[in-house]
Structure 1
Amino acid sequence: MPQCHTKSRTLSNNRDSRTTTMPSLCCCSITPRQPERALSTRLRRLLFFVLLSGQAAWANPVTQQNDDVQVIDVQLRWKHQFQFAGYYAAIAQGYYREEGLEVRLHEGGPSITPVEEVLSGRAQYGEANSELLYARLQGKPLVALAVIFQHSPSVLLARADKGVHSVHDLISKPVMLMDAQTDAEFLAMFRHEGIALDKLQLLPSSFKVEDLANDKVTAFNSYLTNEPFYLQQRGIDYNIIAPITYGIDFYSDILFTSQGEIDDHPQRAEAFRRASLRGWRYAMDNPEQIIDLLLNQYSVKKSRAHLQFEAQAMRALVLPDLIEIGHMNPGRWQRMAEDFLELGMVSNIEGLKDFIYDPNPPQLERLRKIIVLISIGCALALMLTLILLRAQRRLHNEIKLRKQAEEEVRKLLSMTA
């Protein structure tokens, strides 16, 4: 109860000389009730909780916190080399470990297909070329997480002394290619130039550039980042026949996973992608460190000069200074799918739907924004309620004090009447 401490002062009455005491009202003070204090405390705590909830909703989703490190397997397309520099960097710099992941990289080879390794469950993630899109259009549950090479390094190399300067010079000549799914961009190039495949002597690739150097074939399927170095070292002049010259511009070295991994472990998929792209950024900024790592830790057979050649050639394909590493353009994927359709390799391109990974799905993003707005609205409502309650409490105490004072004044007047 509010208490009023009073002082007495004496009044004299001329008629009967009686003295009375009247309490003074100037020293009254109000002390809040205990329930009101508790209510105020609870409101403050609730307001604090709502603000924290709003902040959490506004922030980007984070990786699931787990004390146990999750081990995942990644299937590479080929042997250890600078082509996969970003993954080595992410391991060495601890980016995967920061996300609670332990990543095991598996070398590729002629008989190993990353798409099949991921579909079989032997690996959760992999890196592939156009065969990834082909498999998706065939109904395989695969998802492209990020594109590393904005332009494909796949080209045909031909000896300069054989008079091959364009794709038309290959007619009736022996040409080494991989399978149609992997080398679809070459098939699209031939079709775009009106060259029927039966006009070429297509041979399965031996994966040995020596077959070109020794004049066993006229053109050899190659990577701009690799085989040209061998020819330069042997002093062999060569010409490059690139699909992009003929309007065929495919993505390459695409980081991917299965739809099952996305559905069952969405946070892990996001964390792996995030750490991998951090690794790629570091690798492109610090190529010599990655080369040291490859030579010392991964024991690659390539020389330092070869790895440096590879790193330099990759910059023109990854374009790290112009385009965000990992960027994917839906229009580019659409055009690639249409090339498969025109080649008669697929019957439709409906599989493009949901093929491109979205780290921030529109539905979830809208939901997060709604949560933020509701949280802010609740916080403002609580603040207003708290202000009104305080004002009401002060007014209540003031009214009570005035009524008490008026009552004492009436008593005094009645005594002096």
Structure 2
Amino acid sequence: MTRTPTIARRTALLGAAGGALALGAAACGSADQEQPAAAAPGADGLTPVRLQLQWVTQGQFAGYFAALDQGYYADEGLDVQILEGGADIVPQTVLAQGQADYAIAWVPKALASREQGAMITNVAQVFQRSGTLQVSFADAGIGDVAALRGRTVGNWGFGNEYELFAAMTAAGLDPSGDVTLVQQQFDMLGLLQGDIDAAQAMTYNEYAQLLEAEDPATGELYRPEDFTVLDWNEVGTAMLQDAVWASSDRLADSAYQEQTVAFLKASLKGWAYARDEPEAARDVVVARGSTLGASHQLWQVNEVNKLVWPSPDGAGLVDPEAWERTVRIALETRNAEGQTVITAEPDEEAWTDEYVREALDALRAEGVDVTGESFSPLTVTLEPGGA
């Protein structure tokens, strides 16, 4: 399915876009704030570009760091600065306020920001699958979602909980009464210490933390068989996560359009590098100053690759079925406060595959494998503490 929203190559909707931005001025910046045009090339002939990550430097973003390290951005005429994220940084807001040229954000969170007035557009859906799990000790007997009834269930909140809540609702559980919800820290200590029966985890981060921890009963590291995981991809409530978002308003500018194609081309080439050279990609991330250990980072690159590859139609394209599922859950699922992610269907300009298709065509012409159909993940051995 090819979808080319009317923002691309057109300017007639800018007035309406400005009005929408005014609705979200408190969260997303002033409606009168002029979005910058594509920056002029510097003395080196490269155009400065800022990419805002949604979290700290780690293997989750290996493709972008690889593209920078391997010179793929420079090859496309871009001087890319990667801005680290954190708990107090909302990447889509940084983008909407003109403080970045592109941002990495989960789709439901970005759609919420767009509904509030942030004029941002998904231009490449890099993660094709969800990386979120709900993990329990195997002896707890939580083999399916219904078994969460009466249990203490951890989640991070901040928009990370909707896959869990959708799964519980589909299983006939009332999230506000049939389980005891606990605000979970961004670690697995609550599960390991017995305070939480089922904890939220990302395949590429917190789940690895469990396998890097020592089982006090054996003195050895925990093993996968010590745990039971609920995978939302298998349950059917997976939502789309890491995507590249661009400024909707600026996509009316031809220079920004060309820059977006160039940026996506180099970024996807970086992801292909991370797929084919995971150890080297790990080394790039470690060299960038990640505080996580080398084995943890290799695990992370390997697991993230599983979320990107294979991409049968081409990396970065939106799967319409996954998009519709994400939107449906965002519209219908209520969290502990009774709120849904969004209150109305996103408009047709929330995503476009126009620019990523151009990027994929260019990569194919260069002989780059953009589908990864032969991708085979590594078997990674984790060291204590992820060292």
TM-score by structure 1 length?
0.66
Q: Which residue of 2 is the match for residue 274 of structure 1?
A: 265
Indicate the larger mover: 179-188 or 331-340: 179-188
Report deviation, 1:84. 0.6
Q: Deviations over 1:336-383 (max 9, x none)?
A: 21222222623321x240222233699xxxxxxxxxxxxxxxxxxxxx
Partner of residue 114 from structure 1, selected from 88, 91, 94: 91
8 Å CA contact retained: 2:237, 2:325: no
SS in 1 for 2:288: coil
How far did residue 291 of structure 1 move?
1.4
Q: Taking structure 1 as reference, are residues 249 and 83 closer, same or farther at Cα in structure 2, changes over 3 Å only? A: same
Q: Does 1:206 align with 2:206?
A: no
Superposed counterparts of 1:101-250, under 5 Å: 101-129=78-106, 130-179=108-157, 181-199=159-177, 200-234=179-213, 235-236=221-222, 237-250=226-239
How many Å separate the matches in 2 of 1:361 and 1:157?
35
- When the two structures are aligned, how many residues end up with a matched partner? 298
Structure (1 or 2) with the greater helix fraction: 1
Q: CA deviation at 1:212?
A: 1.5
Alpha carbons of 1:339 and 1:216: their partners in 2 closer, same or farther (altered >3 Å)? same
Where structure 1 has 5 or more consecutive residues not aligned to the other structure, the ranges are 1-62, 363-417
Whole-angstrom CA distance in 2 between matches of 1:101 and 1:77: 21
Give the unaligned 5+ runs of structure 2: 1-37, 214-220, 335-339, 358-387
CA RMSD of aligned residues (A): 2.5
| Structure 1 residues 331 and 230, CA gap change in structure 2 (3 angstroms) | closer
The one-letter amino acid paired with 2:71 is G
* Deviation string, structure 1 residues 47-97 (Cα, Å, up to 9, x no partner): xxxxxxxxxxxxxxxx99956432222121222111111101111111111
Q: 1:352 to 1:335 in 2, by over 3 A?
A: farther
Give 3-state SS (helix, strand or coil) of 2:326's partner: helix
CA contact (8 A) 1:124 1:261 kept: no
How far does the alpha carbon of each residue in 1:119-148 deviate from its partner, in whole angstroms, 9 at most, with x for none?
222222111113123333455311111112
Q: Could you say if the C-alpha distance between residues 66 and 239 of structure 1 is closer, same or farther in structure 2, counting changes exceeding 3 Å?
A: same
SS at match of 2:302: helix
- Aligned partner letter, 1:259: S
Change (3 A) 1:181 1:229: closer
SS at match of 1:325: coil
The equivalent of 1:252 in structure 2 is 241
How much has 1:294 moved relative to structure 2? 2.1
TM-score (ref. length: structure 2):
0.71
Q: Is the 8 A contact 1:146 1:255 kept in 2?
A: yes
TM superposition shift of 1:321 = 6.5
Cα distance in 2 for residues equivalent to 1:312 and 1:276: 17
Query: How many Å separate the matches in 2 of 1:191 and 1:241?
Result: 15
Paired residue type of 1:281 = A
Measured after TM superposition, the shift of residue 250 of structure 1 is 2.1
Q: Find the residue that maps to 2:81 and give its secondary structure.
A: strand
Q: Does 1:359 align with 2:349?
A: no
Secondary structure at the counterpart of residue 88 of structure 2: coil
Write the distance in 2 (CA, Å) between the matches of 1:92 and 1:327: 24
- The verdict on how the C-alpha distance between 1:95 and 1:315 changes in structure 2, with shifts beyond 3 A counting, is closer
Task: Say which is worse superposed, 230-239 or 279-288, in terms of deviation.
Answer: 230-239
- Given the alignment, which residue of 327, 330, 339 partners 1:337? 327
The CA distance in 2 between the partners of 1:175 and 1:353, in whole Å, is 36
Amino acid at match of 1:358: D
SS of 1:102 mapped into structure 2 = strand
Cα distance between partner residues in 2 of 1:158 and 1:215: 10
